[in-house]
Every structure is written in C-alpha cells, then in structure tokens.
Chain A
Amino acid sequence: GAVVSQHPSWVICKSGTSVKIECRSLDFQATTMFWYRQFPKQSLMLMATSNEGSKATYEQGVEKDKFLINHASLTLSTLTVTSAHPEDSSFYICSALGTDFRLTNEKLFFGSGTQLSVL
C-alpha cells in the first residue's frame, strides 16, 4: 500500500532556531501534499497545500514566511519552521494525494507526524 514517510518523528530545539520537517511518498508520486498542525486534544488544522513545482497555498492566518514549504519533487515536500518559538510547539502532520488512481484510489495518505518542542 501507499506509504508516506515523515521525518523526524520528534524534535526539540531552542527558541530562535529553524527546524525542517520532511515528508516523502515512498511508493507513489504525489503532486499535492498537505501540511497540518495539531494541538493536544484538538483536530487537524490545515496549514497549507503544497504543489510540486509551484508555490504553496497557505490557509488564512498561517504565516508563509514563518512556515516555509518546498515541494521540489513528486515525492518530497518539506516544511521549515523558521525562528521557532515556544508557541510553535505542536504536532505537525503531512499528507499526500496520489496521482495514480489505481494505486491510491484518491485517498489521502498521512505521515506519522512530527512532535516539535521549542524550549
């Protein structure tokens, strides 16, 4: 089945540093990937839609300069949290939409998530 690999699974960083999270589709091509953040006991909040070869589309209220998204290939999207602060501490999850209908059947496939803790 389709697999989305997200790395790292957890990261602790100092305030003011930048953190990069990778999202890879391992056995299918994903022209579109999505980034979410999730606070404890809350739902997934869509942050941005990442399209291969073009600029990401950000949801209202999400700072594009704060959360840099790069989707350079059909199998990789990265989210960089720049100048991280304690309020950025959250669970970040990516998902990918497959292009091969027969393999992925239109479903979203999710990464395992990254727990970011900013000290």
Chain B
Amino acid sequence: GESVGLHLPTLSVQEGDNSIINCAYSNSASDYFIWYKQESGKGPQFIIDIRSNMDKRQGQRVTVLLNKTVKHLSLQIAATQPGDSAVYFCAANNDMRFGAGTRLTVKP
C-alpha cells in the first residue's frame, strides 16, 4: 500500500486564524489524494480530494495544495472555528492504511 505520513501530530490555533496541516507521501505514482476529518467518538468524514493533474483545489473554507515535486500535500482551513477541532488524516490512492493523523485544537 501507499506510505503516507504526517509531519506534525498536534496543531493548536486561535479561533479565526488559518490552519495548515501537512502530509507527505512516498510513492511518486500516487495520483489521488483525500483528506478526512475525524471528530472524537465518530468515524472519519471526507473533506476534500485532489487528483495529481491539479496542484490546488478549493472547497468551502478548505483548500488542498499538492506539490508532486516534493511529494507533499497540505490542507488549509480558513478562519478556523471550534467545530474544526478534530484529527485530520490524509490518504493516497485510497490506501486503507492511515498515518497517525494531526490533532487540530482550536482555542476560543
């Protein structure tokens, strides 16, 4: 399977600030990437995806950036809200194995 890892295990931001969560992957053949959000006691939920023929994709308050040169992708959350507090996972090519995730904590 793919090897996908996350740079930071925890991230704490102030409410209203922007958040950036990073992810690295190892297989240069990966061509599809997904970000998931998992709130405490719940299953992961799809946030946004991106294919390798794009380097940026925007959703509502979220943006995913893909840098194929360095095999890195990031999730940017604009105007972070308390409801954004969760663990965020990235996945490549629907690899069923996830890395540790990044726990985002939003301070009021």
Interface, chain A (partner B; CB < 8 A): 4, 6, 34, 41-44, 46, 49, 91, 93, 95, 97, 105-113, 115
Contact = CB atoms under 8 A, between A and B. Distances in A.
A-B pairs, 5 with minimum CB distance: A110-B43, A113-B43, A110-B44, A44-B98, A43-B100
Given A43-B89, A43-B101, A106-B32, A112 B42 contact: yes
Given A43-B101, A44-B89, A113 B42 contact: yes
Contacts of B98: 43-44, 46
Interface of B: 32, 34, 36, 41-46, 49, 89, 91, 94, 96-101, 103
B51 to A, nearest CB: 10
Nearest to A115: B41
Given A46-B96, A46-B97, A107 B46 contact: yes
B102 to A, nearest CB: 11
Contact of A43 (B41, B42, B43, B99): B99
Given A43-B100, A97-B94, 12 more contacts: A34-B96, A41-B103, A42-B100, A43-B99, A49-B96, A106-B94, A107-B46, A108-B34, A109-B46, A110-B45, A111-B43, A113-B43
Contacts of B44: 44, 93, 95, 110
B96 A107 contact: no
Contacts of A112: 42-43
B72 to A, nearest CB: 19
A93 B43 contact: yes
Contacts of B99: 43
Nearest to B97: A46
A108 B96 contact: yes
B34 A107 contact: yes
B43 A6 contact: yes
A59 B16 CA distance: 42
A6 B32 CA distance: 26
